[in-house]
Amino acid sequence: MAKPYYITTPIYYVNDKPHIGHAYTTLACDVLARFKRLDGFDVTFLTGTDEHGQKVEKAAFNRGVSPQDFTNEVSQNFRDLTDQMNFSNDDFIRTTETRHKLACQEMWNRLQTLGHIRLGNYAGWYSVRDEAFFTESELVDGKAPTGAPVDWVEEPSYFFNLSQWQQPLLDFYEANPNFVGPESRFNEVKSFVKGGLRDLSVSRASFKWGIPVPDDSDHVMYVWLDALTNYITASGWPTDTELGDLAKYKKLWPADLHMVGKDILRFHAVYWPAFLMAAELPLPKRVFAHGWWTNEGQKISKSLGNVIDPTALTAQYGLDHTRYFLMREVPFGNDGDFSAAAITHRMNGDLANDLGNLCQRVLSMICKNCDGVMPALPLEPIDTDQGLLSAVDGLLDQVRDLLDRQAFNEALRVIWQVVSDANRYVDSSAPWALKKTDPVRMAEVLAVLAETIRQIAILTQPVMPQSACMILDQLGVDMANRDFSVIAGKGRLASGHQIGKPSPIFPRYIEEGSTDG
């Protein structure tokens, strides 16, 4: 039976339209989900929307509609984004669904029954934008450390005994050295926990847009307790009714990977494991925190008016080109800068010149010089053939290892090294010159190249599903032969079939108004 792999994105606040940050987190998960499917795993990929709390309630109020109507509309924008970006999620959870309300209330009941929740009074600062509590000493110039405004809040509240979980968390981190990536962020999490933990307010009594606390309708649950629980809700927990599926839960939980942005790592690497330990439930295997994008060097913000709309981006540059750029440009985990120059450079360099030209040159020569019949690989490859074939056969292991560490840009870098090797092999073997002198050798060279392109196309499907599919179509590779069981030396390109005249897959990008061409 295929091994299960359960991967999640954060669920997105529906106070606003989707932007590049949302598209980026989900894209990274989509690439991993697609890779794992091709690698034989039984993948469940979850995304969704975080619909409760004061931030969403305020946004609805400002639009003059009820929170439910408002969330229905905005949540749909996030669903639409998954189609526009060609995301392959298997489920889309909304925290306003009944299955989720049930899971949250079960989570609460377990925490309360096991003695981890008590009623008290909260007096302190609250940032609606961050949906987070702060003490006086944490404020920076009267604001949250993120720069968000804060309000003074004084109200009755239930508290979770987070302070009791300091040592169990530190022990867990020690025993699970890969729990958080990148390592530098894991160190920050550990120092935060070593600094001591205060009990956490987990209910609010001054507004209503949330999941009611069981047996106390004056309170709604703190939106982060509600939101984090989504991951286990979607695994099928806690019942075996139309609202849940315990066999599915047993298969999926604990999740293999929660992908998050660096701003929300603390919630996932401290609060969430503490809630789960307290509820006596298994902890996720890994949390990875990626960095943030800036736009042409500037922090992205609504007030600066420089928010990047993913739909506009893909309309301008192309979907797969944008997906490739976002995954290739920046070491995953670091912050990165979006610029028109950088994406144009990648499109014209890596895609048009390197991979695009390779495919176009090789397939056109097969069309012209072999009457469009796919040539056969040499029975006795010479050293240069073997060098290229070994390099491409070695890619799967390298890419798998890099993606298990979420090193997307490195994975693409090693694939493109082989693209460069292949281009050098074209130049040094000069198949066009062999046409007259040694047509047998010419056919062998073209077959080695076609085999290299086949494997590269199969390996790039997770990042560029449509373009890779076009390359495989042009090579005449069957739909049934496009997963990882037929690469890395475990299968070779078929020969003898007819291929059509290729059309360029990655044309050069010419900036509007530019004279470059």
Q: Residue 21, interface with ligand MSP (CB under 6 A)?
A: yes
Of 458, 461, 463, 433, the closest CA to residue 445 belongs to 433
Which CB, 50 or 451, lies closer to ligand MSP? Answer: 50
Q: How far is the CB of 246 from ligand MSP (least distance, A)?
A: 22
H-type alpha helices, 329-438: 340-346, 357-369, 383-393, 395-404, 408-429, 431-437
Which CB, 50 or 57, lies closer to ligand MSP? Answer: 50
Question: What does the block give as tokens for 306?
Answer: 């420089």
Which CB, 117 or 264, lies closer to ligand MSP? Answer: 264
Tell me the number of residues near ligand MSP by CB under 6 A: 19
Residues 367-386 as x/- pattern, contact with ligand MSP by CB under 6 A: --------------------
Residues 398 and 35: their CA atoms lie apart, in Å, by: 13
User: Tokens 């009457």, residue?
Assistant: 371
Q: How far is the CB of 87 from ligand MSP (least distance, A)?
A: 14
Instruction: Select from 5, 7, 10, 232 the one that contacts ligand MSP (CB under 6 A).
Output: 10
CB 320 within 8 A of CB 342: no
Q: Segment 261-300, which members bind ligand MSP (CB under 6 A)?
A: 261, 263-264, 292-293, 300
Which CB, 131 or 385, lies closer to ligand MSP? Answer: 131
Which CB, 50 or 385, lies closer to ligand MSP? Answer: 50
Which CB, 307 or 414, lies closer to ligand MSP? Answer: 307
Which CB, 79 or 508, lies closer to ligand MSP? Answer: 79
Of 10, 6, 1, the closest CA to residue 253 belongs to 6
Q: Residue 192, interface with ligand MSP (CB under 6 A)?
A: no
Q: Residue 12, interface with ligand MSP (CB under 6 A)?
A: yes
Q: Residue 11, interface with ligand MSP (CB under 6 A)?
A: yes
CB 306 within 8 A of CB 300: yes
Which CB, 29 or 449, lies closer to ligand MSP? Answer: 29
Of 217, 54, 68, the closest CA to residue 149 belongs to 54
Q: How far is the CB of 467 from ligand MSP (least distance, A)?
A: 24
Long-range contacts of 167-173 (CB under 8 A, 24+ apart): 168/274, 168/277, 169/193, 169/197, 169/270, 169/273, 169/274, 169/277, 170/194, 172/273, 172/277, 172/283
Which CB, 255 or 470, lies closer to ligand MSP? Answer: 255
Q: How far is the CB of 335 from ligand MSP (least distance, A)?
A: 8
Q: Residue 57, interface with ligand MSP (CB under 6 A)?
A: no
For residue 22, give the H/E element and its range. Answer: helix 20-38
Q: How far is the CB of 431 from ligand MSP (least distance, A)?
A: 44
Instruction: Select from 30, 50, 256, 451 the one that contacts ligand MSP (CB under 6 A).
Output: 50
Q: How far is the CB of 272 from ligand MSP (least distance, A)?
A: 8
Q: Residue 48, interface with ligand MSP (CB under 6 A)?
A: no
Which CB, 13 or 159, lies closer to ligand MSP? Answer: 13
Instruction: Select from 29, 74, 260, 456 the one that contacts ligand MSP (CB under 6 A).
Output: 260
Count of C-beta atoms within a 10 Å radius of residue 205: 17
Q: How far is the CB of 150 from ligand MSP (least distance, A)?
A: 17
Judge if the upstream peptide bond of residue 156 is cis by omega within 30 degrees of 0.
no
Q: How far is the CB of 330 from ligand MSP (least distance, A)?
A: 10
384 burial (CB, 10 Å; 0-12 / 13-18 / 19+) is middle
Which CB, 268 or 482, lies closer to ligand MSP? Answer: 268
CB 159 within 8 A of CB 108: no
Residues 78-117 as x/- pattern, contact with ligand MSP by CB under 6 A: ----------------------------------------
- In order of 274, 298, 329, the CA distances from 280 in angstroms are 10, 44, 41
User: Tokens 């929307």, residue?
Assistant: 49
Provide the β-strand partners of residue 48: 11, 93
Q: Which residue's CB comes closest to ligand MSP? A: 261
Q: How far is the CB of 104 from ligand MSP (least distance, A)?
A: 12
How do strand 42-50 and strand 4-13 relate by DSSP bridges?
parallel
Q: How far is the CB of 514 from ligand MSP (least distance, A)?
A: 27
CB 499 within 8 A of CB 447: no
Which residues does 247 contact at the CB level (< 8 Å), separation at least 6? 236, 240
Q: Residue 484, interface with ligand MSP (CB under 6 A)?
A: no
Backbone angles phi and psi of 239, in degrees to 5? -130, 170
Which CB, 103 or 264, lies closer to ligand MSP? Answer: 264
- In order of 19, 69, 74, 77, 127, the CA distances from 14 in angstroms are 12, 11, 6, 9, 17
Q: How far is the CB of 228 from ligand MSP (least distance, A)?
A: 5
Q: Segment 201-240, which members bind ligand MSP (CB under 6 A)?
A: 227-228, 230
First to last CA, the chain: 52
Question: What does the block give as tokens for 386?
Answer: 């073997």
Instruction: Select from 5, 6, 24, 186 the one that contacts ligand MSP (CB under 6 A).
Output: 24
Q: How far is the CB of 322 from ligand MSP (least distance, A)?
A: 14
Q: How far is the CB of 224 from ligand MSP (least distance, A)?
A: 7
Question: What does the block give as tokens for 36?
Answer: 């794992």
Give the interface with ligand MSP as residue ranges (CB under 6 A): 10-13, 21-22, 24-25, 50, 227-228, 230, 260-261, 263-264, 292-293, 300
